[in-house]
């Protein structure tokens, strides 16, 4: 699919198209001679691997990466990912990608331990690897990571909830995590729980419990928790499907509790716009995809493939009634997203040292 055609598609259709494209990507990953230019001036063969190419969070990262590659010119960027969250399937796709994307790969995943050896082997082959959204494990030989402060994003969600719960709230707040054990998600949940415990001592935390990435499983999990805790003050999820499924359940049950989640799936934005969810926490995945790819390209062309060392901190934000129209407009196309993010992109890429933190501090 051409980027010009993809840009005109509604986000939901682009997500479907990306999912359908997985089969083609599986075939393409075994083609070619595996030789990239790896230097200045020539065409670069690069790739991005994501955990679930059909969900919004990963789709946004791919769109950001594609935008950066397009602006850099002469970059052939291949995107791969399973249609559902499946760590072993992504490992195979990543390993296939290393045979064609020899000039560099951006790697996002939700199961870091199983990528330790495959990533190390890729680095040993001379392929620059950037960890995106999930910090790399020790032993992976990946030393550069682009991601949010996810604990702080959890704090942000808790503070937004407390604004709406009034003084000294009393009752249960349930927290859900799609993939327990994934640092990015666990840190968000920990940020929520710690903030509530500190600022609302009479709130009882329920969970975190597993809500699953798959939208169907996610809906069933949240339905069970809502039925088990009908008098809860709030249900807060830290993943993609959490947001729109909580809104759906709230509407069905005419619930009075607060609901919110992460990311900017079109259904999530609808839920914020109609007031079902009080906020969505936006990790700004397009921005992370753009930054990670732009830095990778620059490192290959200008620094012989040597990436920075450390955690490149990428910002996030709140989507609520005050800015929902602006965010909906931003999400209409990759071009609109780039135009919205461009001042931030220019600022962060212009001061890369200022954004670097020790990798051990990533959370």
Q: What is the pLDDT of residues 335-360, one digit of tens each?
A: 999 999 999 999 999 999 999 999 99
Confidence grade of residue 1 (pLDDT, cut at 50, 70, 90): very low
Q: Write the CB contacts of 130 (distance below 8 Å, at least 6 apart in sequence).
A: 104, 105, 106, 107, 142, 144, 145, 146, 292, 293, 295, 296, 307
DSSP 232-286: -SEEEE-SHHHHHHHHHHHHHHT--SEEEEES--HHHHHHHHTTSSS-EEE--HH
Beta partners for 294?
Answer: none
In 3D space, the residue among 140, 153, 141 whose CA is nearest the CA of residue 111 turns out to be 140
Backbone phi, then psi, for 148, in 5-degree steps? Answer: -80, 170
- Sequence length of the chain is 363
Tokens 């009634």 belong to residue: 321
Q: Is the pLDDT of residue 259 over 50?
A: yes
Taking the C-alpha atoms of 213, 290, 45 and 79 in order, what is their torsion angle to the nearest 10 degrees?
20
Neighbours of 177 (CB within 10 A): 23
Beta partners for 146?
Answer: 132, 312
In 3D space, the residue among 139, 52, 132, 60 whose CA is nearest the CA of residue 90 turns out to be 52
| pLDDT above 70 as % of the chain | 89
Query: What's the CA gap between 110 and 123, in Å, rounded?
Result: 20
For 37, 67, 81, 248, the CA distances from 28, given in Å and listed in that order, are 19, 21, 13, 38
Q: Is the pLDDT of residue 10 over 80?
A: no
Please report the pLDDT score of residue 35 as a whole number: 44
Confidence grade of residue 42 (pLDDT, cut at 50, 70, 90): confident
Model-level pTM? Answer: 0.87
In contact, 260 and 277? CB cutoff 8 Å: yes
Beta partners for 171?
Answer: 203
**Over residues 127-153, mean pLDDT:** 97
Question: Which long-range contacts does 329-335 make (Cβ < 8 Å, 24+ apart)?
Answer: 331/11, 331/264, 331/266, 331/269, 332/11, 333/7, 333/8, 334/3, 334/6, 334/7, 334/63, 334/66, 334/67, 334/286, 335/7
Q: Is the pLDDT of residue 29 over 50?
A: no
Is 41 or 21 the better-scoring residue by pLDDT?
Answer: 41
Spatial strand order of the sheet with 44-49 comes to: 75-80, 44-49, 105-107, 129-132, 144-147, 310-313, 356-357
| Two tokens, residue 212 | 């699953």
């Amino acid at each position: 699919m051409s980027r010009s055609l993809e840009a005109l598609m509604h986000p939901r259709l682009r997500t479907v198209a990306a999912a359908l494209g997985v089969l083609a990507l599986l075939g393409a990953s075994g083609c070619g001679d595996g030789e990239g230019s790896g230097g200045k001036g020539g065409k670069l063969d690069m790739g991005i691997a994501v955990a679930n190419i059909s969900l919004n969070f990963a789709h946004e990262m791919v769109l950001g990466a594609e935008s950066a590659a397009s602006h850099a010119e002469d970059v052939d960027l291949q995107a791969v990912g399973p249609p559902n969250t499946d760590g072993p399937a992504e490992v195979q796709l990543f390993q296939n990608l290393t045979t064609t994307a020899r000039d560099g790969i951006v790697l996002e995943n939700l199961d870091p331990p199983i990528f330790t050896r495959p990533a190390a082997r890729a680095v040993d082959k001379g392929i620059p690897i950037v960890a995106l959204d999930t910090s790399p494990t020790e032993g992976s030989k990946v030393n550069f990571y682009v991601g949010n402060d996810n604990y702080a994003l959890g704090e942000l969600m808790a503070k937004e909830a407390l604004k709406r719960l009034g003084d000294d709230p009393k009752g249960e707040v349930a927290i859900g995590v799609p993939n327990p054990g994934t640092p990015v998600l666990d840190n968000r949940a920990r940020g929520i729980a710690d903030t509530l415990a500190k600022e609302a001592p009479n709130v009882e935390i329920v969970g975190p419990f597993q809500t699953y990435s798959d939208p169907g499983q996610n809906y069933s999990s949240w339905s069970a928790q809502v039925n088990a805790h009908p008098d809860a003050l709030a249900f807060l999820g830290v993943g993609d499907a959490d947001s729109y499924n909580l809104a759906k359940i709230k509407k069905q049950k005419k619930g009075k509790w607060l609901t919110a989640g992460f990311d900017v799936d079109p259904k999530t934005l609808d839920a914020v716009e109609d007031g079902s969810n009080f906020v969505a926490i936006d990790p700004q995945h397009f921005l992370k995809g753009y930054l990670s790819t732009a830095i990778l390209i620059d490192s290959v062309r200008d620094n012989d493939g040597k990436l920075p060392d450390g955690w490149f901190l990428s910002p996030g934000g709140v989507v609520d009634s005050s800015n929902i129209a602006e965010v909906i407009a931003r999400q209409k196309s990759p071009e609109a997203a780039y135009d919205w993010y461009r001042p931030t992109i220019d600022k962060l890429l212009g001061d890369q040292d200022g954004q670097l933190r020790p990798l051990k501090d990533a959370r």
